[in-house]
Amino acid sequence: MPDTPSAAATSAQAPGAQPRPEHPRPSVVRPDWLCLNGRWDFEVDRADTGLERGLLQRPLAGSITVPFAPESRLSGVEDTDFLHAVWYRREVELPAAWAGRRTLLHFGAVDHEATVWVDGEELGRHRGGFTPFTVDLGHRTGTVTVTVRARDSRHEPQARGKQSTRYDNYECMYTRTTGIWQTVWAEPVPDVSLARPRITPDVAGSALHLEQPLRRSGTGALGDRAGWTLTASARDAAGEVATATVRADLDLAPRLVLALPAERVRLWEPADPHLYDVTITLRDAAGEVVDAVETYAGLRSVSIDGKAVLLNGRPVFQRLVLDQGYYPDGLMTAPSDEALVRDIELALAAGFNGARLHQKVFEERFLFHADRLGYLCWGEFGDWGAVEEGSSRRGEYQQPTAGFVTEWLEALERDYSHPSIIGWCGLNETHQPLTDRGQVLDDVTRAMFLAAKAMDTSRPVLDASGYSHRVAESDVWDSHNYTQDPAAFARQVAGLADGRPDTNVGRGGEAFSLPYGGQPWFCSEFGGIWWRPDTEASDSSVDRGAESSWGYGEPPRSEEEFHHRFEGLTGALLGDPLMFGYCYTQLTDVFQEQNGVYSFDRSAKLDVARVRAAQQRPAAIEEG
């Protein structure tokens, strides 16, 4: 399996070392590649007039450390004002050994609208701050100059996730991210190359189904491929398990099946996250290798039986935690690969077996580590941000745009083959009351649901997490409930057996959702217990509404009260034989939001062993 990390830590790379040097895409690896993280020339363009003022031609005034956003401490800039445009430039020396091949320049994520020039020539554009894109440099050799302009307007609706639309942070909204915030890298490929494969596990058939799109770099058709073949082989620790070959000249995305012998079948599951290494090879009519990539796959299934969500045919209660993927020094960018691993390890240590990856499309390496460690994930999207400029988060209704659907499809394509992802959800807390008139929200919610179902028939899809359920055939249903009293909470979530599960409604009782249709149900946000150890023992001098601290409900007066509340809330959900899971808010504090199991710096702030113990009782749905 490609690129396994070293021991866990949360610090950034050593001074002077290249930041984030690991391969950013472990699911599609070629031996030749070049990490372009590090120092780039940089300049803030607050009024977005840089093109008119000559920033494409003249030297930029400062510098920045990529891949960290200019708002972050690790970038070396740490400018947290609104940055409507920023510019980057770097000279890149393309290795002589790459001659004769095309160079692909990859950007893991640039927030929000990127334009890329190479040697003064515009070669690429992309909109969407969470998803990757690629620029084809052609057969260039030697030194090239790459210039990037990133625009991040505060005036237009866009998917921002938890980025504050005010100058400052407030409630559960945090410091903004502008520009490059994931790895920039390059690799050489032949004119016809292998794109990202789509691997679908087939537990019933003991097989891995592989769809391999072919890419023609540059412009033009895929060319004459008569006699070409595509071969895939899977391996485990004992050697080759299965191999298959198909013609590569009949389809744009040849398909093949890796049939696994019964004695070599090993399922991927939390207790044993087994992964098969897979090599994919494209050969020409003479049998010469045109292109080859290394990837991996897990054999597991996700299905629904009544109100149960099954993993490999049996109920596995989803003890999920809300993970927002923010770091004090890197913001949305982890300071190191080890920090990604550490977050999963912290969640597992606290008794969680997975996470909602909340309001952000996480770095792909996070999913790689989740695959390795058997960590269940709901793939989600950072849809918040489509509100009127200057309004509060709750003051205006979300107005998603067509760009949400486009970016969501890019995220689905990127993450399709990760076995750790066990469900999709494109929207979160879309607070629009249900009326008898059609709304933009209805169209976009249905479009994002149908996009996920069309892209992937192997996983359940939730139309929107909490509040405005607008797709009657949504595979699962949920609510968000931050009631802090365990007894009251238990009463509110107790109606599933009668077909009336807890449902979010407006303050005046107005409905957000269509009628519940009997789907599997879980409480996908609860808890959020506001706990600051420095306020223990009835510290009445603390201003509970201060900007420096925010959480749900009245904070416990002691750590003992925290654990009593946590045990009561989780127990109400674990004890329901019809409930398939829950998601506790949240893994860590994030800036002023201080309701994490851990502090923002990932240090312990309470007895994690007790949090774990509260979740260890078998869930009723597993016992049944």
- CA distances (Å), origin 186, targets 19, 23, 35, 146, 617: 16, 11, 7, 12, 48
Q: Look at residue 399 in the predicted model and tell me its pLDDT.
A: 74
Tokens of 438: 């059609």
pLDDT of residue 391: 46
- Give me the helix-helix angle, 402-415 and 364-373, nearest 10°: 40
- Does residue 461 contact residue 423 with C-beta atoms inside 8 Å? yes
- What is the per-residue DSSP string for 28-81? SB-S--EE--EEEEEEE-TTS-TTTTTTTTSPPSEEEEETS-TTSTTTT----S
pLDDT at 3: 59
pLDDT of residue 533: 86
- C-alpha of 212 from chain center: 23
Residue 183 has which token pair?
A: 């790895």
Measured distance CA(623)–CA(614) in Å, rounded: 17
- Written as six digits, the tokens of 326 are 């923010």
Look-up of token digits 């537990």: 203
Using alpha carbons, list the distances in angstroms from residue 309 to 200, 304, 474, 479, 533.
18, 5, 14, 17, 37
Please answer whether residues 268 and 201 qualify as being in contact, where contact means their C-beta atoms are separated by less than 8 angstroms: yes
Q: What is the 3-state secondary structure (H, E, C) of 245-285?
A: EEECCCCCCCEEEEECCHHHCCCEECCEECCEEEEEEEECC
Cα–Cα distance measured from residue 179 to residue 493, given in angstroms and rounded to the nearest whole number:
42
State the Cα–Cα distance between residues 344 and 352, nearest whole angstrom.
9
Which residues in the chain land under pLDDT 50?
4-12, 389-393, 395, 537-547
Sign of the Cα pseudo-torsion (37, 43, 48, 51, in order): negative
Query: What local confidence, expressed as pLDDT, does residue 538 receive?
Result: 38
Q: What is the pLDDT of residue 222?
A: 72
Q: How far apart are CA 338 and CA 514, in angstroms?
A: 43
Per the listing, tokens 């190359």 go with 193
Do the beta carbons of residue 157 and residue 399 sit within 8 Å?
yes
Give the residue from 145, 161, 178 showing the smallest Cα distance to 75.
Answer: 178
Is the distance from CB of 614 to CB of 567 less than 8 angstroms? yes
Tell me how many helices (H) and strands (E) the chain has: 8, 36
Give the gyration radius of the chain's Cα atoms.
24
Q: Which helix (H) or strand (E) holds 412?
A: helix 402-415
Q: Which residues pair with 189 in a beta bridge?
A: 102
Q: Give dist(CA 158, CA 387) in Å, integer.
A: 8
The model's pTM is 0.95
d(CA 32, CA 26): 13
Give the H/E segment covering residue 291: strand 289-297
Question: For the chain, which domains are there?
Answer: 34-186 (2.60.120.260), 196-297 (2.60.40.10), 302-623 (3.20.20.80)
State the DSSP H helix or E strand holding residue 303, giving kind and residue range, or none if neither.
strand 302-305
CA 282 to CA 232: how far, in whole Å?
A: 9
Q: Would strands 376-380 and 421-425 be described as parallel, antiparallel, or unpaired? A: parallel
Contacts of 314 (CB under 8 A, 6+ apart): none
Instruction: Please tell me the predicted confidence (pLDDT) of residue 15.
Output: 65
